[in-house]
């Protein structure tokens, strides 16, 4: 059984760390420069953030009623039945593992840029992959020490992110002699996608914001390790979104005002456009110092995501939903950490990022995997809660009379972005430029369907050597038993 050693702030901190504006905003900033440019990045962030807040509020309401490590899939199971829970769990798992790949590969790109500035390191796909594997190994080891260390690192991460954003924006506002105009920052449109339709290009550009605003379900996944989880986990979800929404807008505006050479930023020899902005505006020493701030924040983010994903693997295996469940649900008696689940999470994340070795657009696809996996998994419990009507028994944190309108807006938004991010991101469509996120989604759905017919009788009925199903743990969390 997992240990309840995390407080309310720690629960908020893990979702805030996973959202990580210094990871998502920075790693996809170059993507945003060519898919709508400044206007789409800034106003897209504002609009997407609003809809994500609605999704988060609706999800928080359901989380308050069902605070367990299984989180989304357990909610769907209780509200819609075993098959709904099964597919929600597989989608959630795909999104969480895609998030680890996206976050830690992004950290590897920024680490390569830092090494390039300091030592002339050549950030080739091969060398970046080696750095990526080293970061995955670091995060696996840190997660083996137990939830207290994870909670401590996440608490530090909150202040590191907020102070880091304030420092970066302040330095970029004060030091450079030249800044872009407000007209450029808020209305400048750039379309380098190869698609002639500007609306399509702008829609694709929303991936920057939607990818960044993923992972707030971490508060739900850590609920079995959180005191007063039915309130703390719900508050953690909502608070992490609105704090990130405000801080992220400030960060994006600060970076965009400081661009000295747009084309040079896009084609930076460092391989990371934000690094070029810092280099042009501040020089090598200043850029190196701020890149270090960003990289540490990204490492915090990746560590938190490994914690969330491993708890999902553990909980899903506890209900016999994965091949090899008996192994993946094992918990260390010393640290009360699901050790095999941690290792499985980082290994699969590594596999998801392997196409980056040969495809320059693969990173965008990895981030899309995160969105099209995890975002529908957010909406399914919300949809089932709406369908349940008065049968849904609210927890202590709820939306009252706003529950249905907020819920329906959330479901419609998720349906829209899921379709959107399955579409090709650049033209012409080739083997190198295709969006293989839809392939990953199809593979997971096929695997889930095949495994359903193999393991459905065992699903939700663990053997006597396990720690109990997610249903049993939920009853403990809710005070039923």
Taking Cα atoms as reference points, which of 388, 390, 383 lies closest to residue 409? Answer: 383
Which residue is it, tokens 């990871």? Answer: 23
Q: Given this model, what pLDDT does residue 433 score?
A: 67
Query: Distance between CA 273 and CA 148 in Å, rounded?
Result: 36
What are the tokens at 196? 């002639």
Q: Given this model, what pLDDT does residue 288 score?
A: 92
Query: Distance between CA 77 and CA 88 in Å, rounded?
Result: 9
> CA distances (Å), 240 to each of 155, 248, 255, 388, in order?
12, 12, 22, 27
> CA distances (Å), 343 to each of 22, 81, 432, in order?
25, 30, 30
In contact, 262 and 30? CB cutoff 8 Å: no
Give domain status of residue 228, yes or no: yes
Q: Write out pLDDT tens, residues 77-96.
A: 899 988 999 999 888 888 88
- Tell me what the pLDDT averaged over the chain comes to: 86
Determine whether 1 is exposed, middle or buried from the number of CB atoms within 10 Å of its CB (0-12, 13-18, 19+). exposed
Give domain status of residue 369, yes or no: yes
Query: Distance between CA 26 and CA 298 in Å, rounded?
Result: 9
In contact, 59 and 381? CB cutoff 8 Å: yes
* DSSP label at residue 180: -
Give domain status of residue 3, yes or no: no
Maximum average pLDDT range among 69-73, 220-224, 385-389: 385-389
Q: Given this model, what pLDDT does residue 365 score?
A: 67
Maximum average pLDDT range among 211-220, 255-264, 372-381, 458-467: 255-264
Give domain status of residue 2, yes or no: no
Q: Write out pLDDT tens, residues 271-323.
A: 889 999 999 999 989 999 999 999 999 999 899 889 888 988 988 888 888 88
Taking Cα atoms as reference points, which of 329, 353, 382, 404 lies closest to residue 109? Answer: 353
* DSSP label at residue 390: G
Give domain status of residue 1, yes or no: no
Give domain status of residue 435, yes or no: yes
Which residue is it, tokens 């889930």? Answer: 448
Domain of residue 197 covers: 8-476
DSSP 421-451: TTS--SSS--TTTS-THHHHHHHHHHHHHHH
Give domain status of residue 295, yes or no: yes
Global confidence as pTM:
0.84
CATH number at residue 21: 1.20.1740.10
Report helix, strand or coil for 36: strand
Give domain status of residue 481, yes or no: no
Q: Write out pLDDT tens, residues 418-472.
A: 888 878 877 777 766 677 777 777 888 888 898 888 888 888 654 433 334 444 4
Domains identified in the chain, total number: 1
Query: Distance between CA 313 and CA 327 in Å, rounded?
Result: 11
In contact, 45 and 210? CB cutoff 8 Å: no
Q: Is the pLDDT of residue 111 over 80?
A: yes
């Amino acid at each position: 059984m997992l240990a309840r050693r995390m407080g309310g702030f720690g629960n908020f901190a893990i979702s805030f760390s996973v959202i990580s504006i210094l990871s998502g905003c920075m790693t996809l900033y170059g993507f945003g420069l060519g898919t709508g440019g400044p206007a789409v990045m800034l106003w897209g962030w504002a609009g997407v953030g609003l809809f994500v807040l609605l999704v988060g509020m609706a999800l928080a309401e359901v989380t308050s009623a069902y605070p367990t490590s299984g989180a989304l899939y357990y909610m769907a199971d209780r509200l819609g039945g075993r098959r709904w829970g099964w597919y929600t769990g597989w989608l959630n798992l795909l999104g969480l593992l895609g998030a680890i790949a996206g976050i830690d590969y992004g950290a590897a790109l920024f680490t390569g840029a830092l090494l390039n500035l300091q030592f002339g390191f050549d950030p080739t796909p091969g060398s970046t992959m080696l750095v990526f594997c080293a970061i995955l190994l670091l995060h696996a080891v840190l997660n083996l020490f137990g939830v207290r260390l994870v909670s401590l690192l996440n608490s530090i991460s909150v202040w590191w992110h907020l102070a880091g954003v304030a420092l970066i924006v302040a330095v970029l506002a004060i030091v450079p002699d030249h800044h872009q105009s407000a007209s450029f920052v808020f209305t400048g449109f750039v379309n380098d996608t190869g698609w002639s339709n500007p609306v399509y290009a702008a829609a694709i550009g929303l991936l920057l914001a939607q990818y960044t605003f993923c992972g707030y379900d971490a508060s739900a996944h850590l609920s079995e390790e959180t005191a007063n989880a039915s309130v703390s986990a719900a508050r953690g979800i909502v608070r992490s979104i609105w704090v990130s929404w405000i801080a992220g807008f400030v960060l994006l505006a600060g970076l965009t005002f400081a661009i000295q050479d747009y084309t040079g930023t896009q084609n930076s020899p460092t391989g990371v456009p934000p690094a070029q902005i810092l280099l042009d505006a501040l020089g090598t020493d200043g850029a190196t110092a701020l890149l270090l701030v960003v990289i540490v924040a990204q490492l915090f983010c990746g560590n938190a995501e490994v914690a969330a994903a491993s708890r999902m693997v553990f909980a899903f295996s506890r209900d016999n939903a994965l091949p090899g469940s008996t192994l993946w649900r094992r918990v260390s008696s010393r640290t009360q950490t699901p050790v095999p689940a941690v290792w499985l999470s980082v290994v699969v994340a590594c596999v998801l990022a392997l196409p980056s070795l040969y495809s320059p657009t693969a990173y965008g696809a990895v981030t899309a995997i995160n969105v099209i996996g995890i975002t529908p998994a957010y909406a399914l419990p919300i949809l089932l809660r709406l369908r349940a009507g008065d049968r849904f028994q609210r927890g202590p944190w709820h939306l009252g009379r706003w529950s249905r309108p907020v819920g329906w807006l959330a479901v419609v938004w998720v349906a829209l972005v899921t379709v959107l991010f399955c579409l090709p991101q650049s033209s012409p469509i080739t083997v190198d430029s295709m969006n293989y996120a839809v392939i990953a989604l199809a593979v997971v759905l096929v695997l889930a369907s095949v495994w359903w017919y193999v393991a459905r009788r065992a699903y939700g009925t663990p053997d006597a050597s396990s720690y109990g199903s997610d249903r049993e743990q939920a009853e403990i969390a809710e005070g039923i038993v």
